[in-house]
């Protein structure tokens, strides 16, 4: 009978590049920037790494669809390296591969790395960025802002939230991320903005204005994982271990039947349910110390609070406006590094960037942005695709 991977995998070291418009470097340099930090944090030689998983989301430009760019950039001599891609859940998919390899006993030390030179692709959230089945058959005239704006319409219809109240809640989500991003030295956007600026910004896809949408960033993040026993033998005293790693893909129910009401994301709920069972989390509202969620748009973060079971259905708006998810709000701090909205969203790196923040906070290394209340358990959440056709990935990390 399957028992999951709770506490079978420890994070030996992590690294993250500076996110932003990195015109000065290429993808190999971004990977090296994150890898060098992780290697120094782990305190090992690169020759100790026995296998690697490399995640990148858009392969048409920069890196291609093989593992070779990562193997060459990081000088991973003679070991198996796999490239993975799972839309915006790609970074967590890379972590899942490395963690499963260690948990299975196949290797002792593994690497997960995600990188994206997204600015060079010309990607701006428009349909022409992704070619193939997704756009050609399912959403030929669609765009990311439009797809998530529909989520807002479904949410309002189900819960009876007024347009004005929802707009204020969405503005608070974005305001919070900008406040937190200003404290993150590696974040793309580090300028606080006012609620008035957010509410008065140009409309992109009603009700999503300019500040409700994350931007386009370059960046890389990585993790080196091993067993708790090996981590201790290498001198690690405080251990951050993987409590759960779960992924759920859409089956087509949402887009092909009338059973989905458009107010929530089924894949997130499915992944969360399994992750909580694997980690032994019975009450996420009380047990989670911080969360990093996929705030590609402010409405996504709002709906995710309910999909994760932290806010009751229909109550996320009130919790957000009450400051429950603010860094010092007394609830569950969310996006304490600025999230996708302000730290940035290079597709292949985002899941690992979230894990990097949780890892850094758990070990008390976050500097100016360190939470006042020491965290013990953190969750990351990725959502790839659109609400009715995509994939959700969740990791839960905590101290052993």
Strand, helix or coil for residue 117? strand
How buried is 252 (Cβ within 10 angstroms: 0-12 exposed, 13-18 middle, 19+ buried)?
exposed
The answer to whether the CB of 29 falls within 8 A of the CB of 63 is no
CA dist 116 and 391 (Å) reads 19
Decide if 369 contacts 337 (C-beta within 8 A). yes
| Residues labelled as active-site residues | 88, 345
Task: Say how far apart CA 250 and CA 82 lie, in whole Å.
Answer: 24
Residue count of the chain, please give it.
Answer: 400
In the chain, which ranges are E strands? 10-16, 51-55, 81-84, 110-117, 203-205, 208-209, 218-226, 240-249, 290-292, 377-386, 389-399
DSSP tag of 298: H
CA distance 243 to 355: 12
Strand partners, 82: 53
CA neighbours closer than 13 Å in the CB half-sphere of residue 219 = 29
Surface-to-core class of residue 239, CB atoms within 10 Å of its CB (0-12 exposed, 13-18 middle, 19+ buried): middle
CA 14 to chain centre: 15
Contacts of 41 (CB under 8 A, 6+ apart): 12, 13, 14, 15, 224
Q: How far is CA 236 from the centre of its chain?
A: 26
Query: Both tokens of residue 127?
Result: 């349909």
- Round to whole Å and give the CA distance between 55 and 351: 10
Enumerate the β-bridge partners of residue 55.
84, 114
84: tokens are 């993975």
DSSP 189: -
Q: How many CB atoms lie within 10 A of CB 297?
A: 28
């Amino acid at each position: 009978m399957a028992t999951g991977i709770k506490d079978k995998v420890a994070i030996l070291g992590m690294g993250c590049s500076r996110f932003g418009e990195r015109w000065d470097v290429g993808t190999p340099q971004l990977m090296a920037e994150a890898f060098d930090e992780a290697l120094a944090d782990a305190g090992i030689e690169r020759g100790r790494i026995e296998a690697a998983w490399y995640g990148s989301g858009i392969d048409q430009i920069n890196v291609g669809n093989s593992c070779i760019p990562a193997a060459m950039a990081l000088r991973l001599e003679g070991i198996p390296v796999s490239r993975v891609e799972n839309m915006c859940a790609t970074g967590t998919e890379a972590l899942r591969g490395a963690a499963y390899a260690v948990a299975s006993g196949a290797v002792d030390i593994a690497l997960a790395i995600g990188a994206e030179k997204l600015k060079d692709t010309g990607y701006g959230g428009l349909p022409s960025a992704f070619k193939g089945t997704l756009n050609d058959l399912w959403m030929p005239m669609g765009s990311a802002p439009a797809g998530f704006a529909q989520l807002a319409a479904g949410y309002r219809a189900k819960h009876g939230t007024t347009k004005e109240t929802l707009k204020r809640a969405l503005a608070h989500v974005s305001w919070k991320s900008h406040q937190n991003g200003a404290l993150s030295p590696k974040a793309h956007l580090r300028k606080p903005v006012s609620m008035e600026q957010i509410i008065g910004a140009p409309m992109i896809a009603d009700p999503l204005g300019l500040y409700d949408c994350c931007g386009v960033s370059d960046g890389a993040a990585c993790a080196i994982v091993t067993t708790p026993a090996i981590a201790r033998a290498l001198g690690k005293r405080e251990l951050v271990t993987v409590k759960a790693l779960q992924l759920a893909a859409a089956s087509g129910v949402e887009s092909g039947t009338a059973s989905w009401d458009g107010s929530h994301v089924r894949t997130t709920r499915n992944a969360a349910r399994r992750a909580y069972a694997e980690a032994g989390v019975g009450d996420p509202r009380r047990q989670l110390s911080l969360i990093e969620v996929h705030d590609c748009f402010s409405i996504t973060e709002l709906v995710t609070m309910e999909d994760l079971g932290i806010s009751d259905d229909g109550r996320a708006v009130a919790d957000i406006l009450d400051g429950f998810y603010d860094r010092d709000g007394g609830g569950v701090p969310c996006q304490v590094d600025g999230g996708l909205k302000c730290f940035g969203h290079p597709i292949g790196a985002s899941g690992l960037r979230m894990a990097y923040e949780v890892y850094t906070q758990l070990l008390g290394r976050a500097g100016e942005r360190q939470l006042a209340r020491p965290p013990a358990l953190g969750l990351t959440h990725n959502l790839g695709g659109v609400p009715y056709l995509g994939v959700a990935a969740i990791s839960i990390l905590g101290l052993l």
